[in-house]
């Protein structure tokens, strides 16, 4: 039994609210479900929101205790490369996480860097759960990519089915891969903010744009129910994509 949570992007307050609404009880710094349900995260824990480090810390603790499944998103990948010392642009939300991290004391900075890098390095590119009936992938995955892990799969899973073109705001243009999905596994993903959970061809996008003033959403599996809480962040209408 899983509760799969969409892109949190540093919205720790809403994360706490959502887990409590799902029946989790916070013991110290981690949410525990009395019936043994397990959290799963579609990636993009950090950036743009106000408390990225608290979200990261919580997910690290949950994964260490084997109480959660985590797959990385493109923002996780960029933060990892920043911690590696690569020449990444500190833009598109990363600047908020870096600012938080730089304000921490040296011991905390070293711990967070090491623990996040370990989390990322040990995370599956996408999670195959419930005997292959359920797949959690940040931006989704094509049916013919399931079971494969080459560079094209990584690009797809992190960024979606990108065309190489850009929207006016600089974000990449993505094809609507879910329209063509015909696989047997349920694909649960995020990455592209939508106003409400989007079900299509045995896929569901649960990134409902919390950091842009929408909602933070979870899918309860196998119940196939979505549960959401409203965002406290300012609403940014142009950040939501519509494929319909």
Instruction: Write out the chain's pLDDT in tens, 244 residues.
Output: 999 999 999 999 999 999 999 999 999 889 999 999 999 999 999 999 999 999 999 999 999 999 999 999 999 999 999 999 999 999 989 999 999 999 999 999 999 999 999 999 999 999 999 999 999 999 999 999 999 999 999 999 999 998 878 777 777 788 899 999 999 999 999 999 999 999 999 999 999 999 999 999 999 999 999 999 999 999 998 888 766 5
Contacts of 66 (CB under 8 A, 6+ apart): none
Q: Kindly state the tokens that stand for 169.
A: 């705001």
Look at residue 84 and tell me if it is in a domain: yes
Domain that holds residue 31: 2-239
For the chain, how many structural domains are there in total? 1
Contacts 24+ apart (CB under 8 A), 227-233: 227/3, 227/18, 227/21, 227/22, 228/18, 228/197, 229/14, 229/17, 229/18, 229/21, 230/14, 231/11, 231/14, 232/11, 232/13, 232/14, 233/11, 233/49
End-to-end CA separation in angstroms for the chain:
31
Look at residue 17 and tell me if it is in a domain: yes
Q: CA-CA distance, 18 to 221, in Å (whole number)?
A: 15
> What CATH number is given to the structural domain containing 229?
3.60.21.10
Look at residue 244 and tell me if it is in a domain: no
């Amino acid at each position: 039994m899983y509760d799969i949570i969409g892109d949190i992007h540093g919205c720790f307050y809403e994360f706490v609210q959502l887990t409590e609404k799902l029946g989790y009880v916070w013991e110290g710094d981690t949410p525990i479900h009395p019936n043994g349900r397990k959290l799963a995260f579609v990636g993009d824990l950090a950036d743009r929101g106000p408390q990225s480090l608290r979200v990261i810390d919580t997910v690290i603790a949950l994964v260490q205790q084997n109480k959660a499944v985590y797959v990385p998103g493109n923002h996780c990948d960029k933060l990892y490369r920043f911690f590696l010392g690569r020449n990444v642009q500190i833009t598109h939300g990363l600047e908020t996480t870096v600012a938080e991290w730089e304000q921490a004391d040296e011991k905390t900075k070293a711990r967070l860097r090491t623990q996040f890098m370990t989390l990322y390095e040990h995370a599956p590119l996408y999670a195959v759960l419930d005997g292959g009936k359920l797949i959690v992938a940040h931006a989704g995955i094509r049916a013919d990519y399931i079971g494969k892990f080459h560079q094209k799969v990584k690009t797809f899973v992190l960024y979606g089915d990108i065309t190489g073109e850009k929207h006016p705001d600089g974000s990449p243009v993505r094809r609507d891969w879910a329209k063509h999905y015909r696989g047997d596994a349920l694909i649960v993903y995020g990455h592209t903010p939508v106003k409400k959970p989007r079900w299509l061809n045995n896929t569901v996008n649960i990134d409902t744009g919390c950091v842009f003033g929408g909602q933070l959403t979870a899918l309860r599996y196998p119940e196939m129910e979505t549960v959401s809480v409203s965002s406290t962040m300012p609403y940014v209408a142009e950040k939501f994509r519509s494929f319909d």
